[in-house]
Structure 1
Amino acid sequence: MADLEVLKARKGAVRRSEIPSNVVAALNRGEIETVNLVEFLVVDHSKLFRHTRSQLALDDAPAKQIAAAIKKLSGEGVMQRLAETGKVFHASLEGNAHRETVYEQLAKHPSDILRNWAAYMDAANAKLTFAQRLKRAKLFATDANMGVREIAWMSVRVPAADGIVSQIEKLHPFAKHKNYLMRRFAIELSRPCGVWTKHISALKQQPEIAEPLLEYCREDETKYVQDSVANWLNDASKTRPDFVENLCDRWLSETNSKHTQRITHRALRTLRKKADA
């Protein structure tokens, strides 16, 4: 246990070759979570499932199905592996009495990879409403691991992008939440362009739809949220520069907050580059 505590306090290596063998072994046993992308990419998902399978309430049939799928996915990109593994967990356990138990075991596991599998189980569940997706994503949105927090919004956005537009009012409580991670989740989820995911055309053309979300966070004191708001507006500036310029001008006229000043400065970076070109 003492050795694990030492490993948990480590700083991540810059290169794969620099990751200590005991760290790789602990990652593949699911005893610790990754601390950066380099470690994230080195995890052997087949070994990880083999070592953690006994910790999950899995019957033999779904366990074999999941193991085979993970092995087959070994040559794919890591994001595809995560998404497809979550999908096979969902498919193999649909209607199974232990489904929610396995989900909870994954969602609260020490390994961030297993927590990501749980998030993608939700992404694969077509029966979930948009409100249910948001509720279940809260656990992942407030995860201590940055990678899990990114999967949190993707696990909602990928299967339910339409809901972000048609039911955007359901994100208002998140944007007003006392927990800054929840606020950041609301903004990242609704970004017009986003990262590693499809753009939302309606928000690219009509960013006004999400204006209330941005208003709630325009003076946010947390840089993590400030950067998210600025990136949202920078996305929008590529298709609706008029909206972004007018919004930033209004905010700066209504408040002298240093937080708003930082947000607007970063939000206008693409437009400044175009003006200087």
Structure 2
Amino acid sequence: MNGTKTSGRGVKDIDPAHLARLNAGEVEAATLVECLAVDFALLMGSVLPDIGSGPCAEMHEAREAGISRRMLLAARLITKRYGPSAIERLARHSSDTVRGWVCAMLGAADMELGDRLLAIRPFADDPHFGVREWSWMAVRSHLAAELDVSIALLAKWTVDPSERIRRFATEALRPRGVWCSHIAALKQQPERALAVLEPLRADPSIYVQDSVGNWLNDAGKDRPEWVRALCERWLAESPEPATVRICRRGMRSIPVVN
């Protein structure tokens, strides 16, 4: 998950008692390693003791699958058993993984794009780094399917007081992104997203700066001249430290022209 905390520890280094609490849904994961170490089947049985043995067994069988696939499977199994009511039931759970399941459930739910964004917004602003990643990954395919509408809606998020909400606006629409499918339209026409990028070109938050810089770096893989021209304009119009940092990050993969 992009933007997650990492450490030098491996799964085997996690204290067994702490791992047991993670699998019981009693504590949040502190690092990406801990996120990946959670046993979804044990967690599901602990959080939803009435779900039955079938879903937990199916979850256990998928234990070797990637975490993104397991997240989608958990969402499907929970929705099948409880329906939409499970979203409200689990939305404020103490486990970040469980809140991630809710993000996946909202991503799979049948709703209009505007309503989907409103529903995912609290998770985009979640204090936990992992939940914030699951929030944008859950809705990304829907954003790509209605790209111009998505850009117009997310442009309004760029002025939100929360740096997490502002960061969501760019991270969810990165042309290439991490752990997700590419958005071909933005690889070919990154200028379509200017309504989201322009308001953030001098954002004071490093969290947002990194996302905008990464967005431009993505775009530079296919449209380097466009990224170079955009950064030249930004630096001329607002030569602030934040803009300098964003542009440096955004052009890190573009060869220097002498």
Same fold (TM over 0.5): yes
**1:119 pairs with 100, 103, 110, which one?**
103
**Offset of 1:13 from its aligned partner?**
6.9
DSSP-derived class of the 1:74 partner: coil
Structure 2 residue 228 is the aligned partner of structure 1 residue 257: no
Deviates more, 1:249-258 or 1:153-162: 153-162
Which of the pair has more CA radius of gyration? 1
How far apart, in 2, do the equivalents of 1:200 and 1:236 lie?
10
**1:205 partnered with 2:200:** no
Q: By how many angstroms is 1:233 displaced? A: 0.6
What displacement does 1:25 show?
Answer: 1.2
Q: Which amino acid in the other structure matches residue 100 of structure 2?
A: N
Equivalence map 1:46-85=2 (5 Å):
46-54=41-49, 63-85=52-74
Give deviations 1:209-253, integer Å, cap 9, x for gaps. 101211110011111100000000111111111211111010111
Contact 1:165 1:202 in 2 (8 A): no
Q: Name which of 73, 76, 82 aligns with 1:87.
A: 76
The DSSP-based 3-state class of the residue aligned with 1:219 is coil
Q: Quick check: 1:163 aligned with 2:163?
A: no
Of the structure 1 ranges 164-173 and 196-205, higher mean CA displacement relative to structure 2 is found in 164-173
Shift of the alpha carbon at 1:72? 2.6
Q: Which residue of 2 aligns with 1:15?
A: 10
Q: Which is worse superposed, 70-79 or 130-139?
A: 70-79
Q: Secondary structure at the match of 1:178?
A: coil
Deviation readout 1:136-181 (Å, 9 max, x if unpaired): 1111111111111111100000344212344420111111111110
Contact 1:41 1:78 in 2 (8 A): yes
RMSD across aligned positions (CA): 1.9
**Structure 1 counterpart of 2:157, from 151, 167, 174:** 174
SS in 1 for 2:176: coil
Aligned-partner SS, 1:256: coil
Could you tell me how far apart the structure 2 residues matched to 1:24 and 1:183 are? 33
Aligned to 2:3: none
CA deviations over 1:168-215 (Å, ceiling 9, x no partner): 201111111111100000000111111111111111111111012111
User: Which residue does 2:220 correspond to in 1?
Assistant: 237
Residue ranges of structure 1 left out of the alignment (5+ in a row): 1-10, 55-59
User: How big is the shift at 1:67?
Assistant: 2.2
Match of 1:106 in 2: 90
Paired position in structure 1 for 2:29: 34
Q: Which residue of 2 aligns with 1:138?
A: 121
When residues 64 and 16 of structure 1 are mapped into structure 2, their CA distance, relative to the original with a 3 A threshold, is: closer
How many equivalent pairs are there? Answer: 253
Cα distance in 2, alignment partners of residues 63 and 232 from structure 1: 43
2:134 & 2:68 partners in 1: Cα distance?
9
In structure 2, the residue matched to 1:219 is 202
Contact 1:137 1:152 in 2 (8 A): yes
- SS of the equivalent of 2:234 reads helix
What TM-score results when the alignment is normalised by the length of structure 2?
A: 0.91
Q: Secondary structure at the match of 1:156?
A: helix
1: CA distance between counterparts of 2:223 and 2:60? 45
* Counterpart residue identity of residue 42, structure 1: A
Please name the residue that 1:191 is paired with.
174
Larger helix share, 1 or 2: 1
Q: Distance in 2 between matches of 1:186 and 1:208?
A: 15
Moved more, 16-25 or 213-222: 16-25
Select the structure with the greater relative contact order (CA < 8 A; seq sep ≥ 6): 2
The match for 1:147 is 130
